[in-house]
């Protein structure tokens, strides 16, 4: 290269470099919006602070929040042009969404934090688990001196009228029926007949049942009034009752406890899959997962997260407890739901 050409080339490169530094690269999400559905209340608050804020800063995109459970009927009606990009799902509606082909398969190469998850958190390529609760036994620590170790401790005749159970018409009691059946049969359930031992067992619980709950508020009110001493409750709710001043403890029974799984997924047909995957990656990071543990009482799905010692007993923390988490075949449970509900109504009412 001659001196003059070389000089021109160097000058051109210098101008290019100056130009590139003078105009910083556009944030990948600038001007774009990501719509995220989430359950309202403290779960939403933690999400806003520990996931939405860093995400908006990192990508320049704006996050719209839709409150409530994943609107499966709405997503089915919108098929192909969904309004929501990122879904927060629980086990039952996650299964429903999957069965109805509403989920976008995730590219785990775009979600590096997925490498640090427990194997149970990556059950298939359509979703990842962000955190876990467990539906164990919440109990009144003033009236019950020795923590229950088995579900069937609640059947003790001395606890007549001291147990609150979930209303048969709702979804919360379903996995417990399957759990009891598998604990009594020592094998997985495959049909309604397999559940019969559980129905027989539930019939024996009837005298101990004080009332049926339709919501967490019902259970909290009954504990507050001293009407009940036991209820199947999510660990996070037991923890928040204890934190607000009620004498409530939490126990993980040896038969297992149904997992309350917080699943993250991307809606099929979303126009913002890249941003959605970035959002999920931040949610699986140690900052966000630790926040959900310390603020909301949900155990991390990320193996690298260390939870403070005083909280560990109130959540399924560590691989031994994660193994106790019970995940029934929800597809089959959903198919059998109306029959199970009918049987439970017959037995319990």
Q: Which residues bind another protein (CB under 8 A)?
A: 35, 39-44, 64-68, 71, 73-74, 77-78, 81, 83, 215-217, 220-221, 224-225, 240-241, 243-246
The residue among 65 and 348 lying less far from another protein, judged by its C-beta, is 65
Q: Which is nearer to another protein, 150 or 244 (CB)?
A: 244
In the complex, least distance from residue 60 CB atom to another protein, rounded to whole angstroms: 19
CB of 64 to another protein, least distance (A): 4
CB of 275 to another protein, least distance (A): 15
| In the complex, least distance from residue 104 CB atom to another protein, rounded to whole angstroms | 19
Cβ at position 78, least distance to another protein in Å: 6
For the CB of residue 240, give the shortest distance to another protein in the complex, in Å. Answer: 6
CB nearer another protein, residue 44 or residue 329: 44
3-state SS of the chain is CCHHHHHHHHHHHHHHHHHHHHCCCCCCCCCCEEEEEECCCHHHHHHHHHHHHHHHHHHCCEEEEEECCCCHHHHHHCCCCCCCCEEEECHHHHHHHHHCCCEECCCHHHCHHHHHECHHHCCECCEEEEEEEEEEEEEECCCCCCCCCCHHHHHCHHHCCCEEEECCCCCCCHHHHHHHHHHHHCCCCCCCHHHHHHHHHHHHHHHHEEEEECCHHHHHHHHHCCCCCEEEEEHHHHHHHHHCCCCEEEECCCCCEEEEEEEEEEECCCCCHHHHHHHHHHHCCHHHHHHHHHHHCCEECECCCCCCHHHHCCCCCCHHHHHHEECCCHHHHHHHHHHHHHHHHHHHC
Nearest CB to another protein, comparing residues 201 and 268? 268
Residue 301 CA to residue 262 CA, distance in Å, equals 10
Tokens 């105009």 belong to which residue?
23
Residues pairing with 38 in the sheet: 67
Min separation Cβ 42 and another protein, Å: 5
Judged by beta carbon, residue 195 or residue 231, the one nearer another protein is 231
Residue nearer to another protein on the CB measure, 10 or 67: 67
Minimum CB distance to another protein smaller for 78 or for 329: 78
Among candidate residues 78, 88, 96, 20, the one with its CA nearest the CA of residue 51? 88
Per residue in 182-198, is it b (16+ CB within 10 Å) or e — as a string? bbbeeeebeeeebbebb
Q: Minimum distance from CB of 69 to another protein (Å)?
A: 9
The span from the CA of 227 to the CA of 248, in Å, is 13
**Do residues 141 and 249 touch, judged by C-beta distance below 8 A?**
yes
What minimum distance in Å lies between the beta carbon of 132 and another protein?
16
- Among residues 74 and 346, whose Cβ is nearest to another protein? 74
Q: How far is the CB of 241 from another protein (least distance, A)?
A: 7
Looking at the Cβ atoms of 204 and 215, the one nearer to another protein is 215
């Amino acid at each position: 290269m001659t001196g003059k050409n070389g000089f021109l080339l160097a000058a051109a490169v210098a101008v290019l470099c100056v130009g590139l530094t003078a105009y910083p690269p556009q944030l990948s999400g600038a001007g774009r919006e990501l719509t995220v559905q989430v359950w309202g209340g403290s779960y939403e608050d933690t999400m806003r602070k520990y996931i939405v804020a860093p995400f908006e800063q990192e990508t320049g995109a704006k996050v719209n929040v839709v409150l409530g459970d994943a609107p499966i009927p709405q997503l089915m009606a919108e098929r192909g042009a969904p309004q929501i990009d990122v879904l927060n799902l629980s086990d039952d509606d996650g299964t429903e969404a999957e069965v109805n082909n509403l989920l976008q398969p995730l590219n785990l190469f775009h979600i590096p934090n997925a490498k640090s998850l427990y194997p149970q958190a990556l059950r298939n390529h359509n979703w990842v688990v962000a955190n876990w609760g467990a539906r164990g036994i919440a109990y009144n620590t003033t009236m019950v001196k020795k923590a229950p170790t088995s579900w069937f401790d609640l059947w003790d005749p001395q606890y007549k009228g001291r147990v609150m159970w979930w209303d048969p018409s709702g979804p919360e009691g379903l996995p417990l029926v399957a759990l009891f059946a598998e604990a009594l049969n020592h094998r997985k359930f495959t049909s309604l007949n397999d559940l019969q031992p559980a129905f027989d067992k539930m019939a024996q619980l009837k005298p101990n049942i004080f009332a049926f709950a339709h919501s967490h508020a019902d259970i909290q009110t009954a504990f507050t009034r001293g009407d009940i001493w036991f209820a199947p409750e999510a660990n996070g709710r037991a923890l928040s009752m204890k934190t607000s001043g009620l004498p409530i403890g939490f126990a993980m029974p040896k038969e297992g406890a149904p997992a309350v799984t917080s699943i993250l997924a991307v809606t099929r047909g979303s126009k913002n899959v890249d941003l959605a995957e970035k959002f999920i990656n931040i949610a699986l990071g140690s900052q966000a997962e630790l926040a959900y543990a310390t603020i909301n009482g949900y155990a991390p799905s990320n193996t690298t997260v260390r939870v403070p010692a005083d909280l560990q007993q109130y959540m399924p923390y560590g691989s031994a407890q994660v193994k106790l988490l019970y995940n029934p075949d929800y597809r089959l449970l959903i198919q059998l739901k109306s029959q199970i509900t009918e049987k439970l109504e017959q037995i319990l009412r």
